[in-house]
């Protein structure tokens, strides 16, 4: 983490926490499990952004969560999910899964295929209320087919304009997009006091004037200007962009 201006916090890919357990290779943007950095606990309500590789047939056994919004985004392969709410299914590349852990759930996650890796992002967001009834949802998004635009994949329940997105208990929006080299677009925040967190999945970008490469991230604190510029600087550049409150309310 490197503060490069009053508004910008830079998270270079190589500075993330790292763990290798044989079957699991994990990179942590924020403190998680055996990785602890007091300067990297959270960015606003964004508590976890894990970049995981799980070997064929392996996975996370049944474990508990509560009072957290959990978003899982497979990047390659397929992840099999089972939980205490009775949900059992598989999420694949292009799918997004959300869980509101609320009063408490248990679940397991395993690589659905015995002979290939699954790669995924798992995101934890602090909710805006405690002890809700647990809930689960998943949906497929055609990110590749809608190139050169940001697709809103997660939004607040209260946003009637985001009817295509999955919803969570937080005033946060998550977008994903694939861009051709040289493509530009603005992003205008939905809420003035929200911050932005951009993670480059593949390729490279210039975000709000800052150059980012594969798996680099940039935190942007609230500012007077509610719009940022996005420029793709390599062929097939892929971006994850989160807009979220900077204050934890629970």
107-130 per-position pLDDT tens digit: 999 999 999 999 999 999 999 999
Residue 142, in any domain of the structure? yes
The pLDDT of 13-31, averaged and rounded, is 97
CATH number at residue 57: 2.60.120.10
What is the pLDDT averaged over residues 182-189?
97
CA distance 169 to 114: 35
Beta bridge partners of residue 138, listed in sequence order = 97
> 């959300």: which residue's tokens?
98
Nearest CA to 131 out of 250, 10, 6 is that of 250
Number of domains into which the chain is organized: 1
pLDDT at 125 (0 to 100): 98
Task: Give Cα 243 to chain centroid, integer Å.
Answer: 11
Q: Is 250 inside a domain boundary?
A: no
Which structural domain, as residue segments, surrounds residue 108? 2-245
pTM listed for this prediction? 0.97
């Amino acid at each position: 983490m490197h503060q490069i201006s009053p508004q910008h916090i830079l998270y270079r890919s190589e500075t993330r926490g790292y763990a290798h357990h044989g079957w699991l290779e994990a990179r942590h943007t924020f403190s998680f499990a055996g990785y602890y950095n007091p300067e990297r606990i959270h960015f606003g309500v964004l508590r976890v952004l894990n970049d995981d590789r799980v070997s064929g047939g392996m996975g996370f056994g049944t474990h508990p969560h509560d009072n957290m919004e959990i978003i899982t985004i497979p990047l390659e392969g397929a992840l099999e999910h089972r939980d205490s709410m009775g949900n059992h299914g598989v999420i694949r590349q292009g799918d997004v899964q959300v869980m509101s852990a609320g009063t408490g759930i248990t679940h397991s996650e395993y690589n659905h295929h015995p002979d290939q890796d699954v790669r995924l992002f798992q995101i934890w967001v602090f909710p805006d209320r405690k002890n809700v009834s647990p809930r689960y949802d998943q949906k497929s998004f055609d990110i590749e087919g809608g190139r050169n635009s940001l697709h809103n994949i997660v939004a607040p329940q209260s946003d009637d304009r985001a009817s295509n997105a999955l919803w969570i208990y937080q005033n946060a929006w998550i977008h994903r997009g694939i861009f051709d080299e040289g493509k530009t677009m603005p992003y205008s925040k939905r809420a003035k006091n929200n911050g932005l967190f951009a993670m480059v999945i593949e390729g490279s970008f210039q975000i709000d004037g800052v150059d980012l490469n594969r798996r680099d991230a940039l935190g942007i604190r609230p500012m007077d200007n509610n719009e940022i510029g996005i420029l793709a600087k390599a062929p097939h550049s892929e971006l994850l962009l989160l807009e979220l409150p900077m204050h934890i309310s629970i």
